[in-house]
A and B are shown apart, each in its own frame.
Chain A
Amino acid sequence: MTAATISRRRSPASLGTGGRAARRLKTTIGTAALLLVAVYVIAPIYWLVVASSKNAGQLFNSSTFLPAAHLNWISNLKSLFSYNSGDFKWWFLNSVVYAVATASLATAVSTLAGYGLAKYRFKMRGAILGVVLGALVVPATALVVPLFLLEHDVHLTNTYEGVILPLMVYPFGVYFMSIFAADAVPDTLIDSCRMDGAGEFRTFWQIGRPILMPGMVTLFLLSFIGTWNNYFLPLVLLGTESRFPLTVGLGAWASDLNLAGAGQPLYPEVIIGSLVSVLPMLVLFPFLQKYVARGLTLGAIAGE
């Protein structure tokens, strides 16, 4: 009897399975399946990197998933940032402005509201919680057309505020924070801070805010990604190209691809523009994954 068989018998994980060979077979088959799905996930991203190095001619005449003989990243980037007097650079900056402002404001407002709902007992509390939960089921797009009309009346369309303010309303964030704060912030700490004579906001600032910080990071990231990726709302609310975020700008370029007489179609620009739009997030994603996943999951589990 070898050491291996002994250790196998002792290992509880292999109890009830068909031994080491069967286990290895299952691992191999499973890993092959996982790799297959990974190829499905990675292929379009890999293609985007390869295709962004090709000029218009190479896009149509070279092998799809292999780089062409001459790499044109530099000239594509130049063309991307100079086309139509540099629209793309403004779209990128606009996206940064929309995403940073929305995420900061949504996080601040939702954190305050969630903390308030978790740590105070007041008359309207149940009603507000109910409304917040109900708002999760209302499809956001049902609001976009009337929102446009309302904003149009008060001259908010085509402005930064017009996009940022509605996206600040983040019922999921409030709900998330109320659950997070209920568990994380001990009532005794709040009471002792009050006894020291601190006002309610000061109590929040000194006790609630530092404890809720990890949850705030999660909310900030979720709202940032949501705003960065949003297309429908800015598409409806914005008419001026100089206010577009990346998604709407790239969509506008894409709509010229198929139009007869729209001049030279912007294939290389659309492709490298897409890469530039997703690259920062993809590079940062391994570091952000933990925070983002936690936010999504806390929502799902608490919803049980």
Chain B
Amino acid sequence: MTAPFLAVFAMFFVAPLVYSVILSLRSPLTNGFTGLLNYRTVFSNGEYWSGVVRMGYFGLIQVSVMIGLAILLALFLDSPYCRGRKFFALVYFLPFAVPGVIAAIQWGFLLEPDLDSVLNVPHHLGLAAGPVTPLDYRLSLYAIMLIVTWEFTGYNMTILLTSLTNVPHQVLEAAKVDGCSELAIATRIKLPLIRRTIAFIVILSIIGTLQLFNEPVILNEIASIGNSFTPNQIIYNTAFSFGNEQLAAAQSVILAAITIVATVAFFGLVRRKLGPLAATRGR
């Protein structure tokens, strides 16, 4: 039963993975084995590491804001104060159906003063010297945060909301009978019960952040924000603009290692708060 999966898995997952490790040990010039030379080149490559650090900064702000917003929205949609829960849940989830490329095209145009008259309003009111330019070099990182948050807040909220509907009714009823306010129920009962789901979506977001590619590539095409914004863009350039596949393989392996380390580190950080892993099994 598992044979067809294992066959394609071996050919299109394991083989490239093994191949990239082998390739990363070969010389870009002679293609002979050179040990860790490519890795040394990556470690002394400032552009690569500033891409990694940029993604660390990006993730710290963007993932926090996005997950925070998703938690707030899910808790409110799950509360008795909410009107139109179904409508909002659907609207917030809509961007999941929009490809990242198209999200970047939409926002790229909306953040260009030539195309978006709203960005000229502060200037016309005399509040700014010129139009607002969010795709300016200094601001483009935040523009990408705005886009990625747009794309994935509803996705994360949907996961949390379904998780919240699995909170047992008896627990909530008991809290109400004991006179708990809705705020206390949300923060002291619901939130701890979904903490594992929160950890899960944070890990997904960390992995996604380190792989960021589509949005900066498309924004660069619309507004020239630079083509080495993220590690993945740099890997792509190394392999296909400079034809240095061996170095690109080493960069890929290091990025995968960073991703795994970041995931494990986050897991270690929150592990004590999550409690024993088997606690909620069989729900």
Contacts and interface: CB of A to CB of B under 8 A. Distances in A.
Given A254-B222, A301-B163, A277 B115 contact: no
Interface stretch (B38-46, B56-64, B126-134, B248-256): B248-256
B94 A296 contact: no
A45 to B, nearest CB: 7
A213 interface: no
Interface string A162-194: 000110110100100000000000000000000
- A26, A47, A143, A300 — most chain B CB neighbours (10 Å): A300
B150 A42 contact: no
A198 interface: no
A224 to B, nearest CB: 11
A293 B94 contact: no
B99 A231 contact: yes
A138 B101 contact: no
Contact of B6 (A120, A128, A137): A128
Interface string A15-59: 111000001001100110110011011111101100100000001
B163 A143 contact: no
Contacts of B99: 228-231, 246-247, 277-278
Interface string A285-303: 1100100111011001101
B150 A174 contact: no
A261 interface: no
Given A45-B98, A258-B224, A143 B8 contact: no
A43 to B, nearest CB: 8
B196 to A, nearest CB: 4
Contacts of B109: 47, 51, 271
Contacts of A143: 13, 16-17, 20, 252
B88 A34 contact: yes
Nearest to B72: A33
B1 A204 contact: yes
A141 interface: yes
Interface residues of A, number: 98
A93 interface: no
Q: What interface size band does chain B fall in?
A: 35 or more
Contacts of A23: 81
Given A23-B81, A274-B102, A115 B92 contact: no
A263 B81 CA distance: 55
A241 B282 CA distance: 49
Interface string B3-18: 0111011011101110
Contacts of A31: 82-84
A137 B12 contact: no
Given A150-B15, A255-B221, A303 B200 contact: yes
A1 interface: no
Contacts of B96: 225, 292
Contacts of B213: 141, 231-232
A250 B31 CA distance: 36
Given A15-B179, A146-B23, A232-B214, A48 B97 contact: no
Given A137-B260, A169-B13, A301-B197, A26 B81 contact: yes
A113 interface: yes
A117 interface: yes
B4 A109 contact: yes
A90 B11 CA distance: 29
Closest CB pairs A-B (n = 6): A116-B1, A113-B5, A297-B162, A229-B99, A304-B196, A146-B20
Given A44-B150, A60-B114, A168-B8, 7 more contacts: A108-B4, A112-B1, A142-B255, A148-B239, A231-B100, A271-B109, A289-B93
